[in-house]
Each structure stands twice: as structure tokens, then as C-alpha cells.
């Protein structure tokens, strides 16, 4: 379901919007928010609810790991996009689940006309790191 109005979105966003995502702000176009759901070191899986304002998306990026790793997105409110390099963008809505293996260049974010939220599950692995790449251009994004 699309949510243009933030108040309506907040009522549907059961895991909470959280705080401005200042730590990763330089890797996003638009405003994003982060609500950490599990504390690092207390759980083997890191979970956070990531919220995107309409039109917000992260840059192209790759999750690397020597062993294991990757990411799972569980879409919880609003509508968004996910795209792997070389493939068509996939429309996401509440209930969509995306598995992103290590080594796959991709991006994800909100549609232009809806707030969007997903839980990011970081799959345990060894020697993990994220490689942040170029932004998704407005020209490319606005064609979706």
C-alpha cells in the first residue's frame, strides 16, 4: 500500500521509523531513518528497520564476505524498489522478501510517491564489509 502522508505511514510502520540515519547519510539520496532492533553482540543476526521518505534510495552497493554474509530485506510498510545490476527493478510492497547474496551489486529504496520501510537482516559471515558505489541517478530512478 502506498503512503504519501507520513502520519498514515507511521500508523502502519509497526517497527518504528527510528532516528535520522546520519551515520550512512552520505550513501543515500533523500532522507532515511534507522531503528535498530537487535543489539550488536547480543544476537547473531543484526536487524534494523530502515525507513525511506518518498524518493529516497541508497546508492549502488555490494555486500562482501570471505564466508557467509549477504542481506535479507523484509518489507513491512509502504512501497519501494529493489534492483540488481543488469536486471529489471523489482517492485516491493508489504510482505515482499528479498535475499541478496554477497557479491551482488544492487540498490533499494522508496518509490517516488510512497514512504517505505524494510527490516534489514545482516546474514552472519566472516570478514564482512560493504562497498558503497555511485548514486542511483535521478534520470534513471525517475524512469521507474
- Total number of residues shown for the chain: 144
Q: What is the pLDDT of residue 40?
A: 81
Q: What is the pLDDT of residue 41?
A: 83
Q: Smallest Cα–Cα separation from 19: which of 41, 54, 60, 48?
A: 48
Domain ranges of the chain: 6-114
Phi/psi at 2 (5° precision)? -80, 140
> What are the grid coordinates assigned to 142, written together?
525517475
| pLDDT digit string (tens) for the chain, length 144 residues | 999 999 999 999 999 999 999 999 999 999 999 999 998 889 989 999 999 999 999 999 999 999 999 999 999 999 999 999 999 999 999 999 999 999 999 999 999 999 999 999 999 999 999 999 999 999 999 999
Dihedral sign computed on CA atoms, order 125, 131, 132, 134: negative
Q: Smallest Cα–Cα separation from 68: which of 122, 24, 28, 113?
A: 122
> What are the grid coordinates assigned to 74, written together?
523484509
Whole-prediction pTM: 0.94
Does the domain formed by 6-114 have CATH 2.60.120.10? Answer: yes
3-state SS, the chain, equals CCCCCHHHHHHHCCCCCCEECHHHHHHEECCEEEEECCCECCECCEEEEEEECCCCEECCEEEECCEECCEEEEEEEEEEEEEECCCCCEEEECCCEEEECCCCCEEEEECCCCCEEEEEEECCEECCEEEECCCCCHHHHCCC
Amino acid at each position: 500500500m502506498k503512503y504519501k502522508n507520513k502520519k498514515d505511514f507511521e500508523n502502519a510502520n509497526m517497527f518504528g521509523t527510528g532516528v535520522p540515519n546520519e551515520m550512512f547519510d552520505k550513501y543515500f539520496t533523500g532522507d532515511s531513518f534507522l531503528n535498530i532492533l537487535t543489539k550488536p553482540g547480543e544476537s547473531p543476526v543484526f536487524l534494523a528497520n530502515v525507513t525511506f521518505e518518498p524518493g529516497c534510495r541508497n546508492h549502488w552497493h555490494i555486500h562482501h564476505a570471505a564466508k557467509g554474509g549477504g542481506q535479507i530485506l523484509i518489507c513491512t510498510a509502504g512501497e519501494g524498489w529493489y534492483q540488481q545490476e543488469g536486471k529489471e527493478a523489482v517492485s516491493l510492497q508489504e510482505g515482499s522478501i528479498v535475499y541478496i547474496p554477497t557479491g551482488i551489486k544492487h540498490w533499494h529504496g522508496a518509490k517516488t510517491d510512497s514512504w517505505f520501510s524494510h527490516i534489514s537482516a545482516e546474514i552472519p559471515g566472516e570478514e564482512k564489509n560493504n562497498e558503497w558505489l555511485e548514486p542511483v541517478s535521478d534520470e534513471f530512478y525517475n524512469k521507474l
